[in-house]
Amino acid sequence: MSDGWQDKAGVIHVHSRYSDGRGTVEAIARAAEQAGAEFLILTDHDTLAPLRDGKEGWYGRTLLLVGVEVSPDDGNHYLGIGIHKEVSRDAPPAEYIRVIADQGGLGFIAHPDYPPQEQYPLKRFPWHDWSVTGYTGMEIWTYTVDWLTGVTSVWRLVKALMSPLATADGPFPETLSRWDALLKEGWAKGRRVVGIGSQDAHGILYSYRRMFRAVRTHILIAGDWRREVEKDKALVLEALGAGRAFVANDLLQDATGFRFWAERGSRHTPMGGVLAVGDGVWLKARAPVPCRLILRTPDGVLAEAEGETLTHRVTGPGVYRVEARLPYKGAWRPWVFTNPVYLR
């Protein structure tokens, strides 16, 4: 649609041979391009060596950026993006959150929840320290963790290996509740909590290429890529920082073109934006294919619609976000999760 924004689907949280991933940076970039990902954020464990080695840049139609995953042994993993110096994983989370922010970087809490799974117990790396502030946001859907926790039997494992969709059940309910609570609390203090979708891809269970169509983060940028690494990197960081982004399982259906915005008179504010509620605001969502659209606040569902559009008028300030589901094999499967618009 011609609202001035272009939707760029990207892959966030990928490991290469610089830590415990299977692929080289070049092979990962190629897989991303083949999967139609327009940007990719590499986040190897505790190292920015790929940045120093000059790996950041355009590879064909994919912009590859280098961040880091701060990875203590027992959890509290944290993505640092747009930074130039490593941070110590031995420091308390509040410290690495601050050091990343001081470098002008963005920081996202990685895979905050690891629901226990009794059949095949995994080593779990949840986020423990919820006293922290100062982070940009959090992963609301981490494909690999979702996938792994869905493998509860040999049969489920076989199914999962045959189809990358089989055990991709969507964000954990506890993670979405947590996000809602943080959104509500954050907004009362004038802070956003940006939700991103991530892969935590290692190229082990699935090829990178196959995974890179699953849970992605779409950003909205003004106009098209400038085709200059520094400028395009700034566009990605700005959109992510502002929450002008949504999470989609593009393996189910490419969500490119999905929109959620607020309208008051001639003012249009996209997801992530802030608008004064005045005497009322129209909240509108549009999907590229018919689906079930759900408008929510942190307190629950406000409106639902089936089709390609949802329109709802609100008169109160607050945090409003949209989810979309698609029918797949007889069930409504989680598909899109937008960042909120904030009405003040």
- The reply to whether 89 sits near Zn ion by the rule CB under 5 A is no
State which residue, 110 or 138, has the beta carbon closest to Zn ion: 110
Q: Give least dist CB 290 to Zn ion, A.
A: 35
State which residue, 25 or 110, has the beta carbon closest to Zn ion: 110
User: Are 335 and 325 spatial neighbours (Cβ–Cβ below 8 Å)?
Assistant: yes
Distance from C-alpha of 50 to C-alpha of 298, rounded to nearest angstrom: 39
Q: Classify strands 39-45 and 5-14 as parallel, antiparallel or unpaired.
A: parallel
Binding mask 40-69 for Zn ion (x = CB under 5 A): -----------------------------x
The footprint of Zn ion on residues 147-206 (CB under 5 A) is: 200
Q: Give least dist CB 125 to Zn ion, A.
A: 5
Distance from C-alpha of 159 to C-alpha of 302, rounded to nearest angstrom: 36
Q: Give least dist CB 95 to Zn ion, A.
A: 18
DSSP helix/strand/coil, 31: helix
Q: Give least dist CB 199 to Zn ion, A.
A: 9
Binding mask 280-319 for Zn ion (x = CB under 5 A): ----------------------------------------
Q: How many CA atoms lie within 13 A of 299 on its CB side?
A: 3
Binding mask 266-285 for Zn ion (x = CB under 5 A): --------------------
Helix, strand, coil content of the chain in percent (nearest 5): 20, 35, 40
- The reply to whether 8 sits near Zn ion by the rule CB under 5 A is no
CB burial of residue 278 (10 Å; 0-12, 13-18, 19+)? exposed
State which residue, 201 or 287, has the beta carbon closest to Zn ion: 201
- The reply to whether 77 sits near Zn ion by the rule CB under 5 A is yes
**DSSP strands (E only) in the chain:** 5-14, 39-45, 57-59, 62-70, 78-81, 106-109, 137-142, 194-198, 215-222, 245-249, 259-264, 267-270, 274-275, 281-297, 300-314, 318-328, 331-338, 341-343
State which residue, 25 or 293, has the beta carbon closest to Zn ion: 25
Binding site for Zn ion (CB under 5 A): 69, 77, 110, 200
